[in-house]
Chain A
Amino acid sequence: MIRIVEPGPQTTVQDLGRFGRLRYGIPPSGPMDVRAFVIANRLVGNPDGAAALECTLLGPRFTVEVPCAIAVTGADAPVSVNGVSAESWATLVLSPGDVVRIGAARAGLRLYLAFSGGLDVPPVLGSRATYLRGRLGGLEGRSLKRDDVLRLFAAALPSARTLPRAQIPTIDSEPEIRVVLGPEAERFSEAGIAAFLSGTYEMLPQSDRMGARLAGPRIAHTRGHDIISDGIALGSIQVPGDGQPIVLLVDRQSTGGYTKIATVGSFDIARVGQVKPGQRLRFRAVDIPEAHRLRRAWEASVAAAAGGPVAAAPAA
Chain B
Amino acid sequence: MALSVELGDEISQEINTRVRALEFLIQAKGVAGVVETVPSFRSLLVYYDPSLTDFDGLTAALGGLAEQTSTAVLPPARQVELPCCYDPEFGLDLLAAAERLAMSPDELVRAHAGAEYLVYFVGFTPGLPYMAGVPERIRLPRLETPRVKVPAGSVGLGGSQFCIYSVESPGGYWLLGRTPAPLYDPRAEEPTLLRPGDRVRMRPIDRAEYDAIATRVAARAWRPSVT
Contact = CB atoms under 8 A, between A and B. Distances in A.
A176 interface: no
Contacts of B184: 25, 134
Interface residues of A, number: 37
A315 B47 CA distance: 7
Give the interface size class of chain B: 35 or more
A229 B192 contact: no
A136 B186 CA distance: 5
15 contacts: A22-B38, A23-B37, A23-B38, A24-B123, A24-B126, A25-B122, A228-B10, A229-B41, A230-B40, A255-B38, A289-B55, A292-B1, A296-B50, A299-B51, A316-B2
Contacts of A23: 23, 36-39, 121-123, 196
B195 interface: yes
Nearest to B40: A230
Contact of A230 (B36, B45, B196): B45
Interface of A: 19-20, 22-26, 124-125, 133-136, 141, 183, 228-234, 253-256, 263, 266, 288-289, 291-292, 295-296, 299, 315-316
Interface string B4-38: 10100111000000000001000000000001111
Contacts of A255: 38, 40, 121, 123-124
B178 interface: no
A256 B42 contact: no
A233 B48 CA distance: 11
A194 B153 CA distance: 44
A26 to B, nearest CB: 5
Task: Describe B's contact surface by its main secondary structure.
Answer: loop
B1 A316 contact: yes
A134 B167 contact: yes
Contact of A26 (B41, B50, B55, B126): B126
Interface string B83-108: 00000000000000000000000000
A146 to B, nearest CB: 23
Closest 9 CB pairs of A and B: A231-B45, A315-B49, A231-B38, A255-B123, A233-B2, A254-B123, A24-B192, A230-B40, A25-B126
Contact of B4 (A183, A229, A289, A292): A183
Nearest to B9: A228
Interface of B: 1-2, 4, 6, 9-11, 23, 35-45, 47-52, 54-55, 121-128, 130, 166-167, 184, 186, 191-192, 195-196
A136 B191 contact: yes
A25 B130 contact: no
B35 A292 contact: no
Contacts of A136: 126, 186, 191
A134 B39 CA distance: 20
Nearest to B46: A231
A133 to B, nearest CB: 8
Contacts of A316: 1-2, 35-36, 47
B15 to A, nearest CB: 10
Contacts of B42: 228, 230
Given A19-B36, A288-B55, A292-B55, A24 B47 contact: no
Residue of B40, B43, B55, B125 with most partner-chain A CB within 10 A: B40
A255 B126 CA distance: 11
Contacts of A232: 45
A311 to B, nearest CB: 12
A295 B45 CA distance: 19
Given A19-B35, A26-B126, A253-B124, A230 B41 contact: yes
B163 to A, nearest CB: 11
B44 A231 contact: yes
Contacts of A288: 55
Contacts of A291: 1
Given A233-B47, A295-B1, 6 more contacts: A136-B126, A231-B40, A266-B1, A295-B50, A316-B2, A316-B36
